Amino acid sequence: MKRGIVFIFTLFFLALLFVGCSKTVATVDGIRISQKEVNDYVNVLKNLDETGELYSGEEQLKELEANVIDSFIVIKLLEKYADENDITITDEEVDGLIQEMINDYESEEEFEKALKEQSMDREFLEYEIRSRLLSSKVYDKVTADVNVTDADVENYYQDNKDTDFLVPASVEAAHILAIFPWKAAGSGESESEEGKREAREKIEMIEQKLEEGEDFEELAKQYSDDTGTAQNGGSLGYVSKEQMVKEFDEALFSLDEGEISGIVETEYGFHIIKSYDYKEEYIQEFEDVSESIREFLLSSSKGVKWEEFIYSLIDNAEIEYAGDIEGNLNAGNGEEK
């Protein structure tokens, strides 16, 4: 399944704040939610679970159904609000998003096949896209007056500069690794003594070549068992303090610039480490982070405003669940059960 389709359903649940002719399972202000609507959505979510384990049990399915019903309650309230405030979604907007999704496939037939594999049809997909667009437009209207001042940004920086904007000390580093062979891949067994001896002999041979003046980078390319770095001369880029395992970290940060360590043993094997450049820790300048702070504060403030708005819709709505269904929304208090 293409990423675009998953994106639709992920956003649908996040935007509604809950992650999570047939009979009526619930009504909200007299608007019915049918069992078929819920079943269709549950089937799609089950198909998105590639492991088949998330919704396999009876209790898990019951909880999933309750979450879906609550999500439908919120979307029905948003639809009602949009209707009262002349917020509309055009067919052209929906068709445009669907076409963007189709363009990710080799053909429209492949797109239709992907829909079918996820228990979706065009009608279902169009409704979900329309719901997402509607939620987005209501969000824009509700949060339009949210503002962040320059003083807000400055205050946040001053209050958090020693933590959020502290860049730790780092070293440009490289290593050569002789990995420990394991008895059986994925078995959880410890390395064999024979394999460990072989790794030790290998790293000692490399150490001897270094002492004889051979080039570190060339030896890394030839001998290192770290396939991710070997072809780049063992380069790890800049490594922050406490980013690596303890033994590696302590050895690296004890080296002077340009110095090569002795043999260092970690849980992964034997290493020889080289330090190239050291950068002291520093606090980022306000000018370099002010825009990211503004975006963060604006997003957070809008999120609070949106949450308050959603709960206000719930507070003022008449919500009834049918039969033994236990929803998570308590109309009248704006809280989850």
Confidence of residue 325 (pLDDT cuts 50, 70, 90): low
Digit-coded pLDDT (tens) for 243-302: 999 999 999 999 999 999 999 999 999 999 999 999 999 999 999 999 999 999 999 999
In the numeric block, the tokens 């396999």 are attached to 56
What average pLDDT is seen over the chain? 87
Q: Residues 105-113: contacts with CB within 8 Å, 24+ apart? A: 105/2, 111/2
Residues 274 and 329 in one domain: no
CATH number at residue 48: 1.10.4030.10
Q: Please state, in angstroms and rounded to a whole number, the distance separating the CA atoms of residues 106 and 327.
A: 41
Q: Please state, in angstroms and rounded to a whole number, the distance separating the CA atoms of residues 16 and 303.
A: 11
Confidence of residue 162 (pLDDT cuts 50, 70, 90): very high
Residues 103 and 178 in one domain: no
Residue type, 301: S
Note whether residue 155 is domain-resident.
Answer: no
Domain span including residue 134: 3-148+290-336
**pLDDT exceeds cutoff 70 at 46:** yes
pLDDT value at position 257?
94
Using a pLDDT cut of 90, give the percent of the chain over it: 67
Residues 58 and 188 in one domain: no
pLDDT value at position 15?
41
pLDDT value at position 12?
45
Digit-coded pLDDT (tens) for 275-290: 999 999 999 999 999 9
**pLDDT exceeds cutoff 70 at 227:** yes
Note whether residue 193 is domain-resident.
Answer: yes
As for how many domains the chain has, the answer is 2
Residues 91 and 181 in one domain: no
Digit-coded pLDDT (tens) for 63-76: 888 889 999 999 99
- Lowest model confidence (mean pLDDT) among 3-12, 36-45, 170-179: 3-12
The DSSP H or E segment spanning 133 is helix 122-142
Using a pLDDT cut of 70, give the percent of the chain over it: 86
Digit-coded pLDDT (tens) for 90-135: 999 999 999 999 999 999 999 999 988 888 888 889 999 999 999 9
332: alpha, beta or left? (left if phi > 0; alpha if psi -120 to 50): left
Residues 15 and 133 in one domain: yes
pLDDT value at position 324?
67
Q: Please state, in angstroms and rounded to a whole number, the distance separating the CA atoms of residues 334 and 312.
A: 7
Note whether residue 157 is domain-resident.
Answer: no
